[in-house]
Homo-oligomer: A and B are copies of this chain.
Amino acid sequence: MNSKKVPEGTITRLFIYLRELTELARLNIRTISSAELGERTNLSDAQVRKDLGYFGQFGTSGSGYQTEELKNALEKILGKDKTWNVAIVGVGHLGSALLTYPGFKERGLNIVAAFDADARKIGKQAKEVTVQSIDELPGTISDKKIVIGVIAVPAKQAQEVADKLVKAKVECILNFAPTALTVPEQVKVKDVDLSRELETLSYFLANKERTRQLIDQQTS
């Protein structure tokens, strides 16, 4: 393994290559060139080779990559051969939606605990977990070997929850609260900002309106 820092974009693309390779393996296609893999994923030949180059030598010049071999290597690199335990903090509407969201399990992320500060929610069954008091967070994180904490509380409580998760030694935080968290360098924070998804909609609508006005002017 190359010790260079791997760009986040490369990681995202490795998942795209992996999906393609899984499909190719299913179709019994044994080898593929970087150019073909690029074509199937709308990326350049050079991009494919550069991305894979961070992790060593895969194909042989001329004959391309062995589909199955590259697929297995990527699964290992991307941690798809393992599962990780997850805790959700905050069992409001969003936390409840996340508890029933199938995408976690599909990605090898098992939700094994849920916490809330509201006494009325504690003890309730949410899918396969029972909501626990936030006071039990440190013990449960340690006992259940939880490495990912999901923050689904309002913005003003998010930092306090992050501090608790860091102290309990989670390795990643997935933050749904619309606020920036301060955590030590070794903890990875992934912010999920739904607003960004909404932003481009207003452009699309404004642009459509402008086009319509232009057409009206031309035809009137």
Residues of A that sit less than 8 Å from B by CB: 1, 8, 11-12, 14-15, 76-80, 82, 84, 92-94, 96-97, 100-104, 106-109, 147-148, 171-172, 174, 178, 188, 190, 192-210
Contacts and interface: CB of A to CB of B under 8 A. Distances in A.
Which 8 residue pairs across A and B have the least CB separation, nearest first? A79-B206, A103-B195, A93-B97, A79-B202, A94-B97, A93-B96, A107-B198, A78-B203
A13 to B, nearest CB: 11
Contacts of A147: 205
A199 to B, nearest CB: 5
A20 to B, nearest CB: 15
A202 B107 contact: yes
A213 to B, nearest CB: 11
Contacts of A107: 195, 198-199, 201-202
A171 B79 contact: no
A122 to B, nearest CB: 18
Contact of A207 (B79, B198, B201): B79
18 contacts: A78-B202, A79-B202, A79-B205, A82-B205, A82-B206, A84-B202, A84-B205, A93-B94, A93-B100, A94-B94, A97-B97, A103-B193, A106-B195, A109-B198, A109-B201, A148-B201, A188-B201, A190-B200
A71 to B, nearest CB: 15
Contact of A12 (B109, B200, B207): B200
Nearest to A107: B198
Contacts of A80: 202
B178 A102 contact: yes
A19 to B, nearest CB: 10
B203 A192 contact: no
Nearest to A80: B202
Contacts of A203: 11, 14, 77-79
Contact of A205 (B12, B100, B172): B172
Given A93-B97, A198-B109, A206 B102 contact: no
